[in-house]
Amino acid sequence: MAPPTIRRSAFRSGMNKKARFTAFTGYLVASIGVLIGAVLLAVSMWHPSLFSGLRTTASDAVSPASEAGATVREEGSSFFQAISGYYRAGSKNAQLKREMEIARVKLAEADAVKQENIRLKAVLGLKDRDPQPVAIARLIGSTSSSARRFAYISRGRDHGVTAGMPVVAPKGLIGRVLETGRSSSRVMLLTDTESMVPVRRSTDNIVAFAEGRADGSLRIRLINLGINPLKPGDVFVTSGAGGLFPPGVAVAVTTEVTKDGAIANLLANPAATDFVAVEPSWQGNIEAKSKTPEAEKASSSEPEE
Amino acid sequence: MISSSNSRAHRDAYGSQINRDHLPILVYGIPWLTIILASLVPMVPFIALAPILPPLGYLFLLTWRLVRPGLLPLWAGLPLGAFDDLFSGQPFGSGIFLFSVTLLSIEAIEIRFPWRNFLLDWFTASLALSVYLYACFLFSGAQLTSIQLRLILPQLLLSIVLFPIIARIVALLDRFRLMRIRKVR
């Protein structure tokens, strides 16, 4: 039996006056909707941050549920890891023992390097970067069907997060905060096409810009053009230029060399990251530190790196 | 002799026909609710480095419109698009515009092709999806490069392949929507 609410189209032949009027109003309101949409779209393309209040309120409203989802995902994955850990336990044990021995040697070497590092830094008068994170947040979502690459994190204005702060995962830079709500914020990921980070090669001072390509990789554009010195496998870290990102945070590793730079893959894959740290903007950091004379010396010697 | 009451005599797929009727909240609420929930998919903890997921909010709107014509009012694109914009990462207004245009143009197509089958619906949906995805990309404010144009193809293909599955889900929800739950006194 046919369900009762079927109606093929808004207009049919043999409609009475009232039905015709209702259909006409429908068309009218829909056309007005198109117009409103077009106007709003033009306005928000011209001024992208205009509706951020609306957006952040909405993401605040659903972020608790989202955060719960993130917790479940994490626990779920650790549950499966625990089960898969029982397979091949013996061979894994032997392998871990071998790795442990190598790691002990490496640790001793690293200690030596650390000592030397401290000594050299003391000679130069440099201070260690002490990233006191503003907040530790969960990644709770991303715009997975849009051409723009945004992610949502579970901390906002109430936790001290402001727009422009860098977002860092244990393995490296993820992006920067774009909009903040009360308890959630929107992060522009490094792979967004509008994202641009000043970087340098970790081994020397070759400076470049890392631009997002929206397909999960970054484009490294060298600032000094000439013979391209890059090789696959080169690691890039933030240079600290521009004052937004703190220097020395790992960003990407080169996979393919192009004419004017390289294509690089992210080191910190947001898809594999549960927790991220929101760090204060580097510029603000310097201003706060410059009150003490030794920190001022440190910050003034930073750009020469 | 007439056999005594058969328990299935006055029942159909939607439940008993005696003393029971549809529940208005379900009849009109389910399409809206599913589209709103599908629009919330960006808040699922799945961090994508490239646009992979099909635009589920739009896909559900399209499917409800094609499976049950006339159920969603013509102006539904305005509120549903606005809600989708809040989470999709598109500039505000892109969803309102594209959702409304879709509903209006499907209405116009339907007047010209009143007799349709599923394949024609699928074709309409594929056409609408490709226009929608490229328009979204155009409006998103991302840089227009050839990589971007190629990047949308897997997403488009996935969306088109997903349409029959979503149509089945919508048909299932439709049966739930029309369950006779309300008691008539």
Region A66-76: what's the mean pLDDT? 76
- Residue A300: pLDDT band (50, 70, 90) is very low
Give mean pLDDT, residues B27-50. Answer: 88
- Could you report the per-residue pLDDT of B52-71, keeping only the tens digit for each? 889 999 999 999 999 888 88
Q: ∠ at Cα A147 (A280, B87), nearest 5°? A: 65
For residue A94, what are its two tokens?
């032997």
Give the confidence band of A68 by pLDDT, cuts at 50, 70, 90.
confident
Q: Left (φ > 0), alpha (ψ -120 to 50) or beta: where does A240 sit?
A: left
For residue B43, which residues of chain A lie inside 8 Å, CB to CB? Answer: 59, 62-63, 65-66, 69, 140-141, 152
Q: In terms of C-beta distances under 8 Å and separation of at least 24 residues, what long-range contacts does A48-54 make, across chains too?
A: A48/B91, A48/B141, A49/A179, A50/B92, A51/B91, A51/B92, A52/A179, A52/A186, A54/B86, A54/B92
* Angle, vertex CA A64, rays to CA A59 and CA A65, nearest 5: 95
- pLDDT tens for each residue of A111-153: 888 887 877 777 665 555 566 888 888 888 888 888 888 899 9
Chain A, 140-159: which have a CB under 8 Å from a chain B CB? 140-152
Model pTM? 0.77
**How many beta carbons lie within 10 A of that of residue A4, not counting itself?**
10
B101 touches chain A (CB under 8 A): yes
Tell me the per-residue pLDDT of A219-238, one tens digit each, with 9 for 90 and over. Answer: 999 888 778 888 888 888 88
The answer to whether the CB atoms of B104 and A216 lie below 8 A apart is: no
Q: Which of B74, B87, B94 sits opposite A29 (nearest CB)?
A: B74
* Residue among B50, B89, B100 whose CB faces A150 most closely: B89
Q: Within 13 Å and on the Cβ side, how many CA atoms surround B151? A: 25
Out of B73, B101, B111, name the one closest to residue A9 (CB): B111
